[in-house]
Amino acid sequence: MLPYTLIEKKQSGQALNKDEIHFLVDGYVKKTIPEYQMAAFLMAVYFKGMEAEEINAYIDVILNSGKRVSFNDSTTYYADKHSTGGVGDKISLILAPLAMASGKVKVPMISGRGLGHSGGTLDKLESIPGFSTQMSLKDFQKQTDRLGCALIGQTKDLCPADKMLYALRDVTATVRSIPLICGSILSKKIAEGIKGLVLDVKTGNGAFISKYEETKHLAEQLKYFGEAYGLSVRPVISDMNQPLGDKIGNWLEVEESLDVLKGGGPAAVRELSLVLTGQMLAMADPKRAEGDIRKELEKLLDSGAAYDAFLRVSKEQGADIRYLEKTELYDRSKYIIEVKSASEGTISYIDTYQLGLDAIVLGAGRRSLNDTIDPKAGLVVHKHLGDKVEKGEPLITLHSDDKKAVELLSKEIGDRFHVSEDNFTMKGDLYEIL
Ligand code: URA
């Protein structure tokens, strides 16, 4: 088989068979197929899509590029949640310890790094001094069983193909593709050995798949292919027409998660955390009333039990938890600049995608494969959709060590917010459970 011919085949819209997909992905992992040919293949998939058989083969080859976890205890409900990616989406940092604190499920979570304009759970966790997201499969299993939760990234053992493809898609603008998203998310989740998967499928201008009908299709595809592998899958479509919560950027999002874990934080972040964790517990115990589950989860946040669980997992994974207990110990960016509104009215539109890119420019994400990130960098949003704003009131604050980036962005970032003179009301709910 020749990679060139397979790229051409996909480029012309034909379906590849299982052997061909395995040849390409395995070859990429073994480095017999170079990055430029894999990038060309991904771009061809981006434009031409994949048929069901191809998606199955693509999930299969990524999954089998590494090992699979399998838990022996059939009485425990192992579950996880994954998001299709958004801006300011820090829910995993809250959901995992919250679910763990309930004692009703165990969460073996494999997450990814920042992708395109969206942040990644791994980068957020690694912004905590000492936190290690790498461990052997055995330790991953042991910690999940002992503590109720473990938080790691793809490794050389677990979905190494996704680790490589993910990084390549990140820098080649090939993230917005339903088959590639299905392969990436489902391979990681199937490898975890879980029974139940809650999916936060983002829709809106800050999501990878922005149009509602396409998002719904993605949610259905994730459910269909996940169930084909024996997972119970519950997709929740949630709104990404504005950043989730106030903070965007790795450490800034850890700080906001700590607030929510202690019973405070922005209402939207708390609400979505409760909804998604609630769905997870409902999957584990379908007979239980959803109202009871919600009350229990609220109590776990308000009592600090979820926060304690996060400290326990962080400590176990090497973190210096003094920074979590006293966030003021953490370094701050050299430049912290507030940008004010040039007019008065109501916030009627926020260019969430662009804010995600702006955070990268400030240092919070990668621009190329080997770029390093500045964990302190990011944005704090002061106004959300439907908020009233006066002329001269702060819209957003930039955090960065990069003087040039701050100078450039402070001139244009105000334009990401549309201020209208009319009243504006948010349409629809924050989420929809499918
Ligand atoms: N999250 C993932 O893990 N993979 C994707 O492709 C998109 C979001």
CATH number of 3-49: 1.20.970.10
Distance of CA 325 from the midpoint of ligand 1 (Å): 31
Q: How far is the C-alpha of 193 from the C-alpha of 283, rounded, in Å?
A: 16
Q: pLDDT digits over 380-392, tens only?
A: 999 999 999 999 9
- Among 175, 177, 186, 192, the mutation site with the greatest number of ligand 1 atoms within 8 A of its Cβ is 175
φ, ψ for residue 335, nearest 5 deg = -115, 120
Q: Is the pTM of this model over 0.85?
A: yes
Atom of ligand 1 minimally distant from the CA of 184: 4
- Among 122, 158, 181, the mutation site with the greatest number of ligand 1 atoms within 8 A of its Cβ is 181
In the DSSP assignment, the letter for residue 330 is: S
Q: What is the pLDDT of residue 425?
A: 62
Distance of CA 387 from the midpoint of ligand 1 (Å): 31
Q: pLDDT digits over 206-222, tens only?
A: 999 999 999 999 999 99
Mean residue pLDDT of the chain comes to 94
Q: Which of 123, 157, 162, 170 is catalytic?
A: 162
For the domain with range 79-325, which CATH number is right: 2.60.40.10, 3.40.50.12780, 3.40.1030.10, 3.40.50.970?
A: 3.40.1030.10
162 is catalytic: yes
Query: 196-203 and 232-239 as β-strands: parallel, antiparallel, unpaired?
Result: parallel
Neighbour count for residue 427 (Cβ, 10 Å): 8
- Among 59, 92, 115, 121, the mutation site with the greatest number of ligand 1 atoms within 8 A of its Cβ is 115
Q: pLDDT digits over 19-28, tens only?
A: 999 999 999 9
312 is catalytic: no
327: exposed, middle or buried (Cβ count in 10 Å: 0-12, 13-18, 19+): middle
Q: Which of 22, 81, 90, 188 is catalytic?
A: 188
- Asked if the domains at 79-325 and 332-420 fall in one CATH topology, the answer is no
The pLDDT confidence band at residue 237, using thresholds 50, 70 and 90, is very high
How is domain 332-420 classified at the architecture level of CATH? Alpha-Beta Complex (3.90)
Q: Give the start-to-end residue ranges of the domains of the chain.
A: 3-49, 79-325, 332-420
Distance of CA 116 from the midpoint of ligand 1 (Å): 10
Task: Tell me the residue type at 213.
Answer: E
Q: What is the pLDDT of residue 156?
A: 82
Nearest CA to 210 out of 53, 351, 377, 355 is that of 351
